[in-house]
Amino acid sequence: MPKVLARLALESISPISLGGYDTKMTRNIGGVQIEEPFRLSSLKGVWKWWMRAYVAGAAFDSGFDEKNQKIKTAEIVNNLLGSTELASSIGVKVLKTTYDLYKPKKWKEIPRLAQMRIKGIERYFALNLHAEVEIYERTALTYPEERLLFGSLLTALKLGGLGKISRRGFGSLKVTIKNKSNEAIKDLTEIIKCIEQETNLNKLEPLVKVLIKGTYNTAEELLKTTRGKSKPKNILPSIPCISLKNKLAFSLYLIKPLMQMSVEDLLLIIGQSVLRAGGRIPRGNLYAKEASITAKLIGVEKDPLNMHVNKPLALFLGLPRKGKTKTEKTGYLTNKRRASPLIFSLLNNSIISLTLMFSSDWPEEQIKWKGVLWKKKDKRIIGIKDRIYKNVKLDKRTLKVSFDSEEMKLLDIIQQIKSSLLDYFKDKNLQLKGQDLGMKIKEVSFL
């Protein structure tokens, strides 16, 4: 009988959008009702992504060149979690799942929900999801391998979440480790328990640090390397990773509103922070005095609805970023995809985590940005007055970004994004239901 390594109880904090190939959680096949609210492929996907981030970060910090960094990362991750050519060292099965199916009509103010349709299919969410997952051993594991497996899984579930738009706080989970006899994860059991309950940022920071630093050290141990010189701070890793020696490549913030808030309002705050208007044009109950990250990045902080983008740099918050008028497409005209480097999650019902991972793997070819100026009459839009085009290009060798006749360093753009984040989430920048919202934001220090 396979050795059971752990049983995890998962409980949704925020709504989860999972489902099958067509995004539906339920479907009728041959008269049989099939439900797919919680899929192992989704769990293993985020688990593998975060494990790769740990191993790649340890390799980058230890001085591995780009080629060997990718080779060693793939070797360790695929050996533990499998690949198309290699069986996984562990097995995972869902023991039980319960949930309430929810159609988020009343949450229409939260950014992204209005776009959650595919060919007319309306997206449903799971609320009050409870799932129990068993993880068992297929091949014998060493102590460091078990530590890396569970450290990366817990990081994925707490800092990442599951399902669609999980980078904006959806799919956040409460995690409980049910069996406490496994010596390899005994301390992780207590750390996760404390993270779920702690609301004091000063007490929460060391807990999160122990989880991340311990998992990172285990990845370093499996690489069979000692801590050497890190890469210079003007060099970025080639893939998103958890680098504990380069603050531009990886950083983590804990954010706490100083009043009790609903999950809906927490998701609204997260979503607005990366919108062009970003709360300065009131949306629902939220208003912001400072411009959003996006507005500052594209140079329209004084007028967030201005269609004339001064600096077309919002692509560094993820691609594709496209808009559409009644007659034509606008935004970044590219088919390239790149996930946002900003990952928001609800650590618990009171605390937002924000993970930033910056790397150099952005599209290097020239990308065209297209905007429009509107004809207006009596404050009404009566047509398109003009079209604006800008071209953006990244040189991966120098990490310089050129657009039109201007040029910026990618590292300066990253600093601007981080500075804008601190401004947006600073104390009393936001107003909720007409009241100033006290906020605390704390950067987790790993150096």
Q: Give bridge partners of residue 12 from the DSSP assignment.
A: 173
Of 109 and 343, the structure prediction assigns the larger pLDDT to 343
Between CA 173 and CA 10 the distance in angstroms is 6
Instruction: Give the mean model confidence (pLDDT) for residues 181-210.
Output: 93
Contact criterion met (CB below 8 Å) for 420 and 293: yes
pLDDT at residue 43 in the model: 92
**What is the arithmetic mean of pLDDT over 84-111?**
83
DSSP codes of every residue in 318-376: -B--EEE-SS-EEEEE----B--SEEEEESSSS-EEEEEE--S-S--S-EEEEEEEEEE
- Looking at residue 307, what is its pLDDT? 64
CA distance 303 to 88: 52
pLDDT value for 365: 85
Q: Mention every residue, 6+ apart, whose C-beta is less than 8 A from residue 219.
A: 54, 55, 57, 58, 76, 148
Kind of pairing between the strands at 173-177 and 342-346 = unpaired
How confident is the model over 100-120, as a mean pLDDT?
A: 67
Instruction: Of 178, 257, 160, give the one whose Cα is nearest residue 5.
Output: 178
H or E element at residue 205: helix 201-222
Residue 157's pLDDT is: 97
DSSP for residue 291: P
Residue 356 has pLDDT above 90, yes or no: yes
Separation of CA 126 from chain center: 19
Q: Cis peptide before 144, with omega less than 30 degrees from 0?
A: no
444-447: long-range contacts, CB 8 A cutoff, minimum separation 24: 444/205, 444/208, 444/209, 444/212, 444/251, 444/252, 444/253, 444/254, 445/205, 445/209, 446/209, 446/212, 446/213, 446/244, 447/244, 447/245, 447/247
pLDDT above 60: residue 94: yes
Answer for the pair 295, 301: CB distance below 8 angstroms, yes or no: yes
Most confident of 64-68, 100-104, 329-333: 64-68
At residue 171 the predicted structure's pLDDT band, cuts being 50, 70 and 90, is very high
**Per-residue pLDDT for 172 more than 90?**
yes
Instruction: Report pLDDT for 204.
Output: 97
> Is pLDDT at 116 greater than 70 in this prediction?
no
Domain borders along the chain are 4-222, 275-339+361-443
Determine the average pLDDT of the residues in 390-395.
90
Mean pLDDT lowest for which of 74-83, 110-119, 245-254? 110-119
Q: What is the pLDDT of residues 368-379, one digit of tens each?
A: 888 877 777 676
The torsion angles phi and psi of 164, rounded to 5 degrees, stand at: -65, 150
**Average pLDDT value for the chain:** 87
Whole-number percent of the chain with pLDDT over 90 = 53
pLDDT in tens, 281-291: 666 678 899 88
Statement: residue 115 has pLDDT above 70: no
Tens digit of each residue's pLDDT (9 = 90 or more) over 237-269: 999 999 999 999 999 999 999 998 999 899 999
Distance CA 139, CA 3 (A): 9
Beta bridge partners of 33: 28
Residue 280 is predicted with a pLDDT of 77
pLDDT confidence tier of residue 121, bands split at 50, 70 and 90: low
Categorize the per-residue pLDDT at 100 as very low, low, confident or very high, splitting at 50, 70 and 90. Answer: confident
